[in-house]
Amino acid sequence: DTGVSQDPRHKITKRGQNVTFRCDPISEHNRLYWYRQTLGQGPEFLTYFQNEAQLEKSRLLSDRFSAERPKGSFSTLEIQRTEQGDSAMYLCASSLKGDTQYFGPGTRLTVL
Amino acid sequence: AQTVTQSQPEMSVQEAETVTLSCTYDTSESDYYLFWYKQPPSRQMILVIRQEAYKQQNATENRFSVNFQKAAKSFSLKISDSQLGDAAMYFCAYRGDSNYQLIWGAGTKLIIKP
């Protein structure tokens, strides 16, 4: 069990560019979650998957955000036309069914 | 809607002493789960302890224990024999039985004084 991994760990981009983050959950975990955390705040839920199905999306997830989990394994989170307000830490977590969520190290996004 | 409140932005404790972090929550659900996570500087979120609401017994994990008061909707974390490695942001989180997203408090920064 290698834990949840995320790539890249840091991303600096210019406003208006598209970025994509990847999350690899703990093997055999069927649920995968994305959260966003801004400095000094607790995380905010974005979306979650059960296997390959995206079951819930937060109102925070605007049309510029899209997430996928093909084949129920790794997941990607894409942000199109990035804005400075998108600067945050993007956290991925996974769980077995509805059990405890285990987190990855996060991807820190800076939009210039 | 459920909310989680951590009223202590920062706490400090002398090494080897005991400290209690506070958390209150609001919900109309009867079945739910509560968690304390630890986030060291520039490191990932780590589960400290979890509590199922249907269990009356308070959860304990080594030096970490909780005081769960369901009627008062209070869920405090006690850290005994504080160690330098305990320095981190501590987040209280709630998860309803029918909803898998975690709802988080704003966090408490714990400082350990050597």
DSSP states of A5-42? EEE-SEEEE-TT--EEEEEEPPTT--EEEEEEE-TTS-
- Across the range B71-100, mean pLDDT stands at 95
Give me chain B's average pLDDT, please: 94
- Both tokens of B94, joined, read 């709630």
User: Is pLDDT at A1 greater than 70 in this prediction?
Assistant: no
Q: What is the pLDDT of residues B76-87, one digit of tens each?
A: 999 999 999 999
- Give the number of other CB atoms < 10 A from CB of residue A10: 10
With an 8 Å Cβ cutoff, is A44 touching chain B?
yes
Q: For residue A62, what pLDDT band results from cuts at 50, 70 and 90?
A: confident
- Across the range A91-100, mean pLDDT stands at 88
Question: What's residue A60's pLDDT?
Answer: 79
- Alpha-carbon distance A14 to nearest alpha carbon in chain B (angstroms): 23
Q: With an 8 Å Cβ cutoff, are B106 and A45 in contact?
A: no
In contact, A50 and A62? CB cutoff 8 Å: no
